[in-house]
């Protein structure tokens, strides 16, 4: 019925979600950050247009149709909504002349259409019908009920709006070939004009906003025109229709505030609330007059800087200026002569309600939004929905996306920022390791040769002392110390070469539990670590592709480090946990040692950094470990608290192709 009446200009939409907050039908779906109108759900109320600060909403236009096809091709009548005085507050009496300057043959008050249907509302009010009668002059209200409250469709007064009534009147009196163009503040009138139940009465709809643009394009200057008045038929009390209670006034229905049988409500929020109350059988009033806007004087296309009260004053002034000059006899004659015109209509159910999701679905979505308990539901409204639960329901119905949640986005942004910092730290570490590795390779090569000579000649001297039976205990001890220290230097050089090597991985399938069990058995046999309790939290035999010798070195380094960190701990316990997140096999090694001071966090994988006692470590173990893990396309992280221990977490991919093998 109203496909494409309101749509989104995607280039201008900027994730503010104001339109979602204002849309009573929730007819706006966010896709890739763009708030797009769902045509089949849109009731064309135009509230999204009013609140969009980016001017990202547009309305289907009949301007080309009217000015390129209607004007100059037969009789074309402009019918102007009585709220025009609020849209043209400084020169509204010049509007009829301006319209004729554009080429319209006659300019008539739509308010006469309100006079034509007033009698029908009087009859509805006086009828014995027990259900609450809902006025049908506001097309946005009609659309809303037909689409979302099918149980209330029978409650709609079966009478056309003033626009349709006047269109039928003019077609009857001027001929069916007469083109009738409605001009007013209402976007929903565009959908009403093409509604199959009333189609044919109106040929085109222009908003006041569109009319002002046409005036500018055609260089029509209102201030240069003479004051003029509308062509007959002239309206009477129907002029008050755009004001709250105007329909009651023109129909002779009491609008007293103490009157229990009538209710007048205007404004989107209050109208929706009252419709819900009627649907729930909580309202006993006989007659309800509803306007989606705060009176037609506050319609989405009224295009005026005046506030509500100033607009109301302008319309009242217009009514007072002209109502007493109306020839009542002519007016009554026109009303009487229209007695055979059909001003009734039917309404249809056009249900657009989507099935309400199950509680389990809502809970799942809330969990995905990090809303695991009631206190997590901030109900901040940033997404455009009143509560987090409403938002979850909208997601389940396909009307929203999780990325609309501002707190969730902030959390994700914070995590992304942390991940970026971590990635930068890893990159810096990798670059540092690469440069140190190149230096280490050169240094190790140069040191190896003199070390070999020192060890060779020291051994020869020691053998010569023994062979010649030279009893020089001090010399023997000195030579032993030289050999011992040279051997230590050789081991350091071997580690340097291991750290700097550029070789490929020897891939084979490795059972992680078996590998770690083999390593822990050897560690337990070490006399220094006999009092360390080593536990496996689970024993799943996860299998990965990797270089067994190098991974053995990785876990041996980590487990030895963990055991050494617990030398001074009262409770010495090492827990190894193996699990998977689907893509990676994760090994977690947790000790109860003294922990790592925070000031050392950034140095842990740096070559030659160690907190061990002199002679007990070279500071290359974790640097080598880091390099091997990276060569396996894995990740290594740690968490540590002083006096609470340290947990290292190693993530290794289940599969690694030969093409992926690389160096640090």
Cβ atoms of residues 664 and 433 within 8 Å: yes
Tokens in use for 634? 């894995």
| Dist. CA 306–CA 318, nearest whole Å | 16
Tokens in use for 655? 């599969």
Tokens in use for 167? 């269109």
The region that residue 4 occupies, defined by phi over 0 for left and psi between -120 and 50 for alpha, beta otherwise, is: left
Cβ atoms of residues 421 and 411 within 8 Å: no
Q: How long a stretch of residues is the chain? A: 664
DSSP 8-state code for residue 127: S
Same structural domain for residues 433 and 459?
yes
Mean pLDDT of 127-142: 90
Cis-peptide, bond into residue 478, ω within 30° of zero: no
649 three-state secondary structure: strand
Q: Which of 359-373, 489-503, 509-523 has the lowest mean pLDDT?
A: 489-503
Range list of β-strands (E), 114-225:
133-134, 179-184, 204-207
Please tell me the predicted confidence (pLDDT) of residue 408.
82
Residue 499 has pLDDT above 80, yes or no: no
Please tell me the predicted confidence (pLDDT) of residue 501.
55
Domain region containing 574 = 503-664
Please tell me the predicted confidence (pLDDT) of residue 522.
84
Same structural domain for residues 162 and 268?
yes
112 pLDDT band, cuts 50/70/90, is: very high
Same structural domain for residues 279 and 155?
yes
Same structural domain for residues 624 and 531?
yes
| Dist. CA 204–CA 243, nearest whole Å | 24
**CATH no. for residue 579?**
3.30.565.10
Please tell me the predicted confidence (pLDDT) of residue 429.
65
Same structural domain for residues 651 and 537?
yes
Same structural domain for residues 165 and 178?
yes
| Average pLDDT of the chain to the nearest whole number | 86
Mean pLDDT of 302-311: 87
Residue 634 within a domain:
yes
433 pLDDT band, cuts 50/70/90, is: low
Residue 344 within a domain:
no
Instruction: Give bridge partners of residue 49 from the DSSP assignment.
Output: none
Please tell me the predicted confidence (pLDDT) of residue 255.
65
pTM over 0.85: no
Shortest CA distance to 182 belongs to which of 196, 198, 201, 195? 201
Residue 587 within a domain:
yes
Residue 348 within a domain:
no
- Helix 406-467 with 621-631: angle, nearest 10 deg: 120
Please tell me the predicted confidence (pLDDT) of residue 619.
64
Residue 566 within a domain:
yes
Please tell me the predicted confidence (pLDDT) of residue 64.
94
Residue 320: how many other CB atoms lie within 10 Å: 10
Cβ atoms of residues 555 and 587 within 8 Å: yes
| Positive or negative torsion for Cα 154, 157, 163, 167 | positive
Mean pLDDT of 170-187: 95
Same structural domain for residues 302 and 426?
no
Residue 149 has pLDDT above 80, yes or no: yes
Residue-wise pLDDT tens digits, 248-265: 888 888 766 556 788 999
| Positive or negative torsion for Cα 59, 62, 67, 71 | negative
What whole-number percentage of the chain has pLDDT above 90? 41
Q: Which of 501, 518, 540 is the last residue of a domain?
A: 501
Please tell me the predicted confidence (pLDDT) of residue 439.
66
Residue 472 within a domain:
yes
Q: Which of 471, 486, 501 is the last residue of a domain?
A: 501
Residue-wise pLDDT tens digits, 449-470: 787 788 888 888 878 877 777 6
Shortest CA distance to 440 belongs to which of 634, 627, 632? 627
Residue 559 has pLDDT above 60, yes or no: yes
Residue 96 has pLDDT above 50, yes or no: yes
Residue-wise pLDDT tens digits, 215-230: 999 999 999 999 999 9
609 pLDDT band, cuts 50/70/90, is: low
Same structural domain for residues 179 and 320?
yes
Residue-wise pLDDT tens digits, 182-206: 999 999 999 999 999 999 999 999 9
Q: Which of 278, 307, 337 is the last residue of a domain?
A: 337
Residue 296 has pLDDT above 90, yes or no: no
Residue 603 has pLDDT above 90, yes or no: no
**CATH no. for residue 39?**
3.30.70.20
Residue 513 within a domain:
yes
Same structural domain for residues 32 and 11?
yes
Shortest CA distance to 307 belongs to which of 323, 295, 317? 295
144 pLDDT band, cuts 50/70/90, is: very high
Residue 2 has pLDDT above 60, yes or no: no
Residue 267: how many other CB atoms lie within 10 Å: 16
Residue 583 within a domain:
yes
339 pLDDT band, cuts 50/70/90, is: very high
| Dist. CA 561–CA 662, nearest whole Å | 27
663 pLDDT band, cuts 50/70/90, is: very low
Mean pLDDT of 528-541: 81
State how many domains the chain has: 5
Same structural domain for residues 174 and 247?
yes
Please tell me the predicted confidence (pLDDT) of residue 253.
82
Same structural domain for residues 511 and 483?
no
**CATH no. for residue 439?**
1.10.287
Shortest CA distance to 625 belongs to which of 561, 567, 536? 561
Shortest CA distance to 85 belongs to which of 197, 235, 205? 235
Q: Which of 43-47, 363-367, 375-379 has the lowest mean pLDDT?
A: 375-379
The region that residue 540 occupies, defined by phi over 0 for left and psi between -120 and 50 for alpha, beta otherwise, is: beta
Same structural domain for residues 564 and 460?
no
| Dist. CA 362–CA 395, nearest whole Å | 9
Alpha helices in 468-531 (DSSP H): 473-500, 512-525
632 pLDDT band, cuts 50/70/90, is: confident
Please tell me the predicted confidence (pLDDT) of residue 106.
95
Shortest CA distance to 206 belongs to which of 180, 235, 241, 227? 180
Residue 384 has pLDDT above 70, yes or no: yes
32 pLDDT band, cuts 50/70/90, is: confident
Please tell me the predicted confidence (pLDDT) of residue 606.
73
Distances (CA, A) of 211 to 87, 202, 489: 11, 17, 92
Mean pLDDT of 493-522: 77
């Amino acid at each position: 019925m109203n496909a494409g009446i309101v749509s989104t200009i995607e280039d201008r939409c900027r994730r503010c979600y104001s339109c979602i907050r204002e849309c009573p039908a929730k007819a706006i779906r966010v896709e890739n950050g763009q708030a797009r109108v769902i045509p089949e759900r849109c009731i064309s109320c135009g509230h999204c247009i009013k609140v969009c600060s980016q001017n990202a909403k547009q309305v289907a236009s009949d301007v080309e149709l009217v000015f390129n096809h209607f004007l100059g091709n037969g009789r074309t009548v402009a019918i102007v909504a009585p709220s025009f005085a609020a849209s043209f507050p400084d020169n509204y009496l010049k509007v009829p002349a301006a319209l004729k300057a554009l080429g319209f043959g006659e300019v008539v008050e739509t308010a006469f259409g309100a006079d034509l249907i007033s009698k029908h509302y009087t009859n509805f009010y006086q009828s014995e019908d027990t259900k609450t009668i809902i006025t049908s002059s506001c097309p946005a209200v009609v659309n809303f009920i037909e689409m979302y409250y099918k149980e209330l469709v029978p409650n709609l007064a079966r009478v056309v709006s003033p626009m349709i009534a006047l269109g039928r009147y003019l077609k009857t009196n001027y001929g069916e070939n007469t083109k009738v163009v409605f001009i007013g503040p209402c976007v929903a009138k565009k959908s009403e004009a093409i509604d199959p139940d009333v189609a044919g009465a109106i040929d085109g709809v222009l908003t006041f906003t569109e009319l002002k643009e046409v005036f500018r394009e055609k260089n029509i200057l209102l201030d240069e025109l003479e004051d003029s008045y509308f062509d007959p038929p002239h309206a009477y009390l129907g002029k008050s229709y755009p004001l709250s209670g105007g329909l009651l006034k023109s129909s002779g229905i009491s609008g007293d505030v103490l009157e229990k049988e009538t209710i007048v409500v205007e404004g989107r929020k209050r109208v929706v609330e009252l419709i819900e109350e009627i649907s729930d059988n909580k309202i006993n009033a006989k007659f309800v007059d509803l306007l989606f806007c705060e009176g037609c004087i506050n319609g989405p296309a009224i295009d005026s800087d005046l506030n509500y009260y100033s607009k109301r004053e302008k319309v009242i002034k217009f009514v007072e200026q002209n109502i007493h000059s109306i020839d009542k006899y002519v007016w009554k004659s026109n009303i009487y002569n229209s007695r055979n015109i059909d001003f009734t209509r039917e309404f249809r159910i056009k249900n657009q309600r989507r099935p309400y999701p199950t509680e389990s679905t809502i809970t799942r979505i809330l969990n995905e939004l990090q809303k695991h308990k009631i206190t997590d539901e901030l109900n901040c409204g940033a997404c455009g929905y009143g509560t987090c639960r409403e938002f979850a329901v909208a997601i389940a119905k396909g009307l929203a996306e999780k990325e609309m949640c501002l707190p969730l986005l902030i959390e994700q942004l914070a995590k992304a920022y942390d991940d970026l910092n971590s990635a930068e730290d890893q990159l810096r570490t990798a670059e540092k390791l690469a440069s140190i590795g190149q230096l280490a390779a050169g240094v190790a090569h140069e040191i190896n040769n003199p070390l070999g000579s020192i060890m060779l000649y020291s051994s020869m001297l020691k053998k010569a002392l023994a062979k010649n039976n030279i009893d020089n205990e001090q010399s023997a001890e000195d030579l032993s110390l030289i050999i011992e220290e040279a051997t230590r230097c050789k081991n350091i050089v071997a580690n340097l070469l291991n750290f700097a090597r550029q070789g490929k991985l020897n891939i084979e399938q490795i059972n992680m539990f078996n590998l770690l069990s083999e390593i822990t058995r050897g560690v337990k046999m070490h006399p220094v670590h006999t009092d360390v309790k080593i536990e496996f939290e689970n024993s799943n035999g996860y299998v990965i592709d990797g270089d067994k010798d190098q991974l053995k070195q990785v876990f041996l380094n980590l487990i030895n480090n963990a055991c050494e960190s617990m030398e001074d701990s009262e409770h010495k316990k090492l827990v190894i946990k193996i699990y998977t997140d689907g893509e990676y096999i994760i090994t977690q090694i947790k000790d109860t040692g003294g922990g790592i001071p925070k000031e050392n966090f950034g140095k842990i994988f740096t070559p030659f950094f160690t907190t061990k006692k002199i002679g007990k470590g070279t500071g290359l173990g974790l640097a080598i470990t880091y390099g091997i893990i990276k060569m396996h396309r894995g990740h290594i992280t740690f968490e540590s608290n002083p006096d609470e221990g340290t947990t290292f977490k190693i993530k290794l991919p289940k599969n690694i192709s030969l093409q992926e093998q690389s160096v640090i």
